[in-house]
Amino acid sequence: MFQPVENNASFPSLENEILEFWKEQDIYGKSLERRADAPRFVFYEGPPTANGMPHPGHCLTRAIKDLFPRYRTMRGFYCERKGGWDTHGLPVEVEVCKELGIHSKEEIEAFGIEPFIHKCQQSVWRYMREWERLTERLGFWIHLPDAYVTYHKTYVESVWWSLKTLFDRGLLYQGHKIVWWWAQGGTALSAGEVGQGYREVADPSVFVRFPLLDDEGQRTDTSLLVWTTTPWTLPSNQFAAVHPELTYATVTDTESGEKLILADELVETVATKAKREWTVESTCTGRQLVGRRYLPPFDDYYRELGDRRAPLKTGGEDYLAWRILSADFVTTESGTGAVHQAPAFGEVDYEVLIADQERFVSGEGPELICAVGPDGKFTSEAPDYEGRWVKEADKDICRDLRERNLLLHLDQYLHEYPFCWRAEEDPLIQYPRQSWFVRTTKFQDRMLANNQEINWLPDHIKGGRFGKFLESNVDWALSRERFWGTPLPIWVCDQTGKQEAVASYAELLAKPGVQGTEVWTAAKQANPELVDDLCVHKPYIDEVTYDSPFAAGGRMRRVSEVIDCWYDSGAMPFAQWGYPHQGHDEFQAQFPADFISEAIDQTRGWFYSQLAISTLLFADPDNRTAETEPVDFPHPYRNCIVLGLMMGEDGQKMSKSKRNYREPTEIFDKYGADALRWFFFAKQAPWTTIRYSESSIKESIPEFLLRLWNVYSFFVIYANIDGFDPGQLLAPDHALAANAQLNAADFAAARGFRPIAQRGELDRWILSELNRTLSGVVERMDAYDNFAACQLINEFVDGLSNWYVRRSRDRFWASDKESPEKLDAYWTLYECLLTTSKLVAPFVPFLADTLWRNLASVCGPQVLESVHLCDFPGGDDAVVDEQLSTRMRLLREIASLGRSARMDAKLKVRQPLAKVEVILADATHQPWLAAHDALLCTELNVKAIEYTADAEKYIEYQVQPNFKRLGPRVGKLMPAVKQALGEADGGALLAELTDTGKVELAAGDQTVELDNEDIQVRLQAKPGWSAAQGTSCVVVLSTELTEELLREGLARDVVRLVQDRRKQLQCEFTDRISIGIVTDSDDVKAAVQDNLDYIAAETLANRVIFERLADSDRVEHQVGGDKIVLHVSVDAP
C-alpha cells in the first residue's frame, strides 16, 4: 500500500518533512559518497558577505548554484560544493562605523584600530544564521561547516603567496591613482560616497590663452584658446589636448589683432560670450596641431623643464611637456575644443600622461606635476600661492592671468560638483595618491584569449560587457588605505627603500632579526577569545619588522595598505585550499571550475578578479614554477551563467523601505521553496531582468507543482483501491538488487507487467513522450539551459495530466482488477511518475523526494531511500515513436476542434451526438485515426467518427506556396506564384497533384512546375455547418438530435446529479447506493428507463426506483426543463 495522499497538499509542511529527512539521513553526504570515484564536476561558490540580510536576489543565485550541481551529480559526476564567505572590505568597516556612530579614519584611529578590527571580525558573522537558514530552506546543498573564509590565516597566506609571485615577476608596482580626495579629512572617498555628495555650484569658467611657440621655441603672436572651470589646476598644467578629427580655426581679433586657435564650430559661441569680433583666417585639423609647443600660464615648472627633451622608444626625442596632444575625449559641447591638461587633478588627464609616458624610453618620460599638497593647499612648487587652499586661490589666479593678458574671458558656470557627504562645506578635489597596482595590462591579450574560451550564458557577455571591459583594461589599483582587509605583504627597507614580498606568516617569522610578534602574543594572552587568524591582520602584522637584507642596520617594515577585497574573492580558486602552502591535491583536482554563476553586477567584480588573477598566475609560460604551471584556457571557470538583476513587484529596484518585495522566508512559509525555485527556473531565462513578484511565484503551484501532485494523488488513490502494489507484484524470485532505482527493467518479471510493445497506444504514446522529454532535458541541461528544460518538463506533465490520465480514467475505474489493460495503465503511470520524480529532482527537490519516497518505498528496503541518490534518467530512443507522437497531436487537435464546434453550436458535451465528420488535409494518417475512434468518441461524446470522402461538401481548399522550399527556387516570382495558387481551383489542383505527382502553374509570364512538397493546403470550412477548422483538418458536427440521443443526454444529467449527491453524502468511492426518482416528466422517466444499466453502473447503484426512498433526504433539481426530486441512500455493504 502506498501512503494515502492528502488531497489538499501543503507544500511548505511537506518540504519541512523532507528537510528533516535529508538531515537525519545525511542524503547530501550520501549523494556525494555514491559518486566518490566518479569524474568531477567542479563548482565554485562565489562568496557572499554575511554582514547583511540575504534577499531574493541571493535566492536566485543560490537556486541556480544548486540546480546544476544536483543535476550533474545525478548524471554521474562527483560535485564537491565547498561554501565560502567574503569577509573583508569597506562594507564591513562601514557597518561597524555605523554601530559605533563614527565616520572618518581619524575617528576610527581614535577609537583604536585594534578594537575596531575585532569588531569587524565579529561583525561579518552577524547574519550568518539567517544565511545558513535560507541556504538550507531553499534546498541549496552546499557544505558550509568547512567553508572558506577570506580572513582566515590560511586564506590570507594563500593570497600573500599569489601577491609575492606577482611582485617577484614585476607585476605588482607602486604608482599614482587619481582619487576623489577629501583634503580636510585627508582621505579618499569611494565612488559610492562621492555619488552621495553632488551639489550644483557656480565655479569660475575661464578662457585662457596658451601662446604657441615656433620651432625655435620663441613665442608667436598666436595662442591656443583653452577653457577650464578649475583655474587652480593651471599652475600644474602639463599639456593641452585637441581632438584629431575636429576642425580648428585660426581667428584674428578685429580690435586687438591677436590670433587665437579654437574649434571652428565654437568660434561664434565663444566670440559672443567674450563680446569680441573675430574673423577666421584659416582652418586646420586637430591632428595638424598635435606636437606644437606652447607657453603655460605659470612658469614655475617651465623655467626648469621647458626646454628639456627625452629619448623616445621609436628613436629621436621629444619635449617633456607643454605640447599639444591628441585626445579622443575632447568635445565641442562646451569650452573651446582645446582642453587644459593637469594630470594630477583628473583621471582622464592622468591617463593622457601615462599614455604619453609610454612613448618615451622607460623612466625618461614626463613626471607627474603637482603643485598641491594632500591638505589641498599649494606647495612651495607654486611659491606665489604657497599655503593657500586651492579653491580659495581661484580668484587671485584669475586676477593674475588677467594682469598678464592671458585671460580672454571669465564668467560663472553652473554644474554638479561633489562635496564631502559628512562635511558638507568641503568640496572634494581629484588628487593623485600613491597606490599599488597589478600590471594586468601586460596580460590583456592573454585575458582576452582566456575569455574567448569561456562559455558565457548569455553569449553576448563574452564579446559584450565582459569582452569590452577587458579591451579597455587598465592596471588594477590594488591597495586601500583602510584597516580591515588582507594586508599587502610587502616590507620596505627603511634605509634603501627597497622592497620584498612575503608569502606566509611562517616565512616572515623565519626572517632574521624578527621583532614585534610579541604584540600579537600579548593581545592573545590578554584576550584568549581572539581568533588566531587575526595575527596576520592589522594592527598586529604592522608591528612585525626584520633585518633588511639590503642595508646593514636597516629594518624592513610593512607598507600600511590593505588590498582590495575583490582580490580576495578572485583568489578563491586556489586560496580556498590554502594553496600552495597546503591543499595541493585539492587544488589540482578542483581547477578550473566547470560551472560558476553570479549576477551581472559581478562582471567587473568576481568574474574579472578571478579571470585576471588566474591568467596572471597560471598563464605565464615565461615564469613557470611548480606552483604556477600554465594551464590551458579557459580558467578558472569554463561555464558561467550571468544572472539578470532582480526587481521588486513594481519593476523597480528592490528596496526595503519601499517594501516592494516579499521576504524569502515569507514565500517559503506560504508557498514553499519548490514554488520559488520553479519560478526562477521555469518562468524566464535566468539572464533576463527578473521581476520578483509574489503572484508569479504563487502561480508555479497550480501551473506545475499541483498538476504533478494531482496526477500523483490520482495514482495513489486508485492504486490503493485496486490493491496495485508493485512490491507485491514483483516476482518472489526476482528480488531487487541493493540500491535499486526502479527502472523499467527492474519490473520486467513483475506480475501483470507487459513489455511496452504489447501495451495500448495511449501507454506507448505517454512513454514515448516521456523518453522524448528525457532526451530533450538532458540535452538542454548539458547546455546549461534550465529554462528550455523546464518548458519540456512542463509540457510532459501537462500531457500526462490532461491527456494520458484523462483518457485512461475508465481503465483505472474498470471493475476487473486483473485485466491486462488496467494493469498496463498502472504500470505505465507508475513508471511515468517514478521517472518524473527523478526528472524534476534537481529543479524541485522537495516535491521530487516526496513522490519518490512514497512511490518507491513499497518495493522494499533495497530501493534507494532518496530520489537524489538516483541516476538522472536518459531518454531511450527505442521507446520514442515520432509518428505516434505526430498522430496523437493530430488526434488531440481533432478533439480540440470538435469541442470548439460544440461550443459554437451550443451543444454541451453531456449531450451525445450521432457523429462528427473529419476532413483531413493530408489523408496519410486517416487509417490510424480511424482505428482510434473510440478515444475520440468518448472525448467528444459522439456515437461515430467519419472521415469524409465527400470533402467538397463542407470545405474548400486553399492552396499556398511552401515558401521555405519554393523561395530559393523561384525567388522574385514568388508573389506571382502565390497569386496564381490563390486563384487556382484548389480541389482540381490537388487532384492533379495526387494523380500525377506534379502540376504546372502559370505564374506571371513563366510556368512553374510544382510537386507535393511545394505547396501547403489549408482547409476552409464552408458556412452553414457547425464546423471548426485547424491548420490541417476540419471537424464538422452532426447537430441532429434524435429522441434516443436526447434521452441519453437526460440520463447523463441524472447521473451527474447522483454523483453530486454521493459527494455530499461523503460516500467512499466503492460505496453502493439506492436511487429514488420522483418526477412528473415522462421524458425523464423514459430517459432513465432506457439507460438504467448505464446509470446504475456509473453511480454504483444497486437499484433505481421511481418513488421516494425512506430514510433519505429529498433534493429537488431541474433536468431538461422538468422538475425531479432525487433520493439517494447508501446501502449496507
Known active-site residue 656: yes
Separation CA 952–CA 919 (nearest Å)? 10
Q: How far is the CB of 467 from RNA (least distance, A)?
A: 8
Cell, residue 669: 512559509
Q: Which one, of 1030, 813, 1000, lies nearest residue 901 by Cα?
A: 1030
Q: How far is the CB of 1057 from RNA (least distance, A)?
A: 9
User: How big is the CA angle at 411 (ends 406 and 416), to the nearest 5 degrees?
Assistant: 120
Catalytic residue among 182, 566, 577, 803: 566
Q: Which one, of 795, 807, 821, lies nearest residue 714 by Cα?
A: 807
What per-residue string of b and e applies to 817-841 under the rule 16 or more CB within 10 Å gives b?
Answer: eeeebbbbbbbbbbbbbbbbbbbbb
Nearest residue (CB) to RNA, 632 versus 1069: 1069
Q: Cα torsion for 722, 727, 732, 735, to the nearest 10°?
A: 160
Can you say whether the dihedral through the CA atoms of 343, 347, 350, 352 is positive or negative? negative
Q: How far is the CB of 894 from RNA (least distance, A)?
A: 10
Contact yes or no for 45/135 (Cβ under 8 A) = no
Region of residue 596 (left: phi > 0; alpha: psi -120 to 50; beta: else): beta
Catalytic residue among 47, 48, 580, 686: 47
Q: How far is the CB of 211 from RNA (least distance, A)?
A: 29
Can you say whether the dihedral through the CA atoms of 148, 149, 155, 160 is positive or negative? positive
Nearest residue (CB) to RNA, 129 versus 969: 969
Cell, residue 1130: 447508501
Catalytic residue among 12, 69, 82, 86: 86
Nearest residue (CB) to RNA, 18 versus 711: 711
Q: How far is the CB of 848 from RNA (least distance, A)?
A: 17
Residue 283 contacts by C-beta under 8 Å, 6 or more apart in sequence?
A: 247, 248, 249, 250, 264
The SS3 assignment for 366 reads coil
Question: 294: which DSSP letter?
Answer: B
According to DSSP H, which parts of 428-562 are helical?
A: 444-453, 460-463, 465-471, 505-509, 517-526
The neighbour count for residue 142, using CB atoms within 10 Å, is: 19
Nearest residue (CB) to RNA, 575 versus 1028: 1028
Separation CA 752–CA 817 (nearest Å)? 11
Contact yes or no for 1106/1077 (Cβ under 8 A) = yes
Nearest residue (CB) to RNA, 497 versus 975: 975
Nearest residue (CB) to RNA, 70 versus 902: 902
Q: How far is the CB of 426 from RNA (least distance, A)?
A: 21
Contact yes or no for 497/159 (Cβ under 8 A) = no
Catalytic residue among 313, 395, 468, 656: 656
Beta bridge partners of 479: 563
Q: How far is the CB of 889 from RNA (least distance, A)?
A: 13
Nearest residue (CB) to RNA, 104 versus 603: 603
Residue 472 contacts by C-beta under 8 Å, 6 or more apart in sequence?
A: none
DSSP string, 593-641: EEEEEEEGGGIIIIIHHHHHHHHHHHS-GGG--STT---PSS-SEEEEE
Known active-site residue 1022: no
Separation CA 900–CA 1029 (nearest Å)? 9
Known active-site residue 297: no
Nearest residue (CB) to RNA, 7 versus 362: 7
Catalytic residue among 238, 357, 590, 602: 602
Residue positions counted in the chain = 1133
According to DSSP H, which parts of 324-443 are helical?
A: 347-359, 390-403
Known active-site residue 430: no
Q: How far is the CB of 802 from RNA (least distance, A)?
A: 5
Q: How far is the CB of 1034 from RNA (least distance, A)?
A: 10
Q: How far is the CB of 443 from RNA (least distance, A)?
A: 20
Catalytic residue among 141, 182, 322, 606: 606
Q: How far is the CB of 265 from RNA (least distance, A)?
A: 15
Residue 859 contacts by C-beta under 8 Å, 6 or more apart in sequence?
A: 726, 727, 730, 736, 740, 742, 746
Separation CA 571–CA 450 (nearest Å)? 17
Cell, residue 1015: 505547396
According to DSSP H, which parts of 906-1016 are helical?
A: 926-930, 933-940, 963-970, 974-983, 986-996
Known active-site residue 161: no
Contact yes or no for 582/154 (Cβ under 8 A) = yes
Separation CA 250–CA 259 (nearest Å)? 7
Question: 571: which DSSP letter?
Answer: T
The SS3 assignment for 237 reads coil
Nearest residue (CB) to RNA, 4 versus 513: 4
Nearest residue (CB) to RNA, 317 versus 601: 601
Q: How far is the CB of 1059 from RNA (least distance, A)?
A: 3
Residue 95 contacts by C-beta under 8 Å, 6 or more apart in sequence?
A: 51, 52, 123, 126
Please report which helix (H) or strand (E) contains residue 242, including its range: strand 239-242
Q: How far is the CB of 975 from RNA (least distance, A)?
A: 5
Nearest residue (CB) to RNA, 54 versus 418: 418
Residue in the structure block whose three cell numbers are 522524448: 772
The widest CA-to-CA distance across the chain, in whole angstroms, is 128
Nearest residue (CB) to RNA, 584 versus 899: 899
Nearest residue (CB) to RNA, 325 versus 708: 708
Residue 952 contacts by C-beta under 8 Å, 6 or more apart in sequence?
A: 987
- Residue numbers annotated as active site: 47, 86, 566, 602, 606, 653, 656
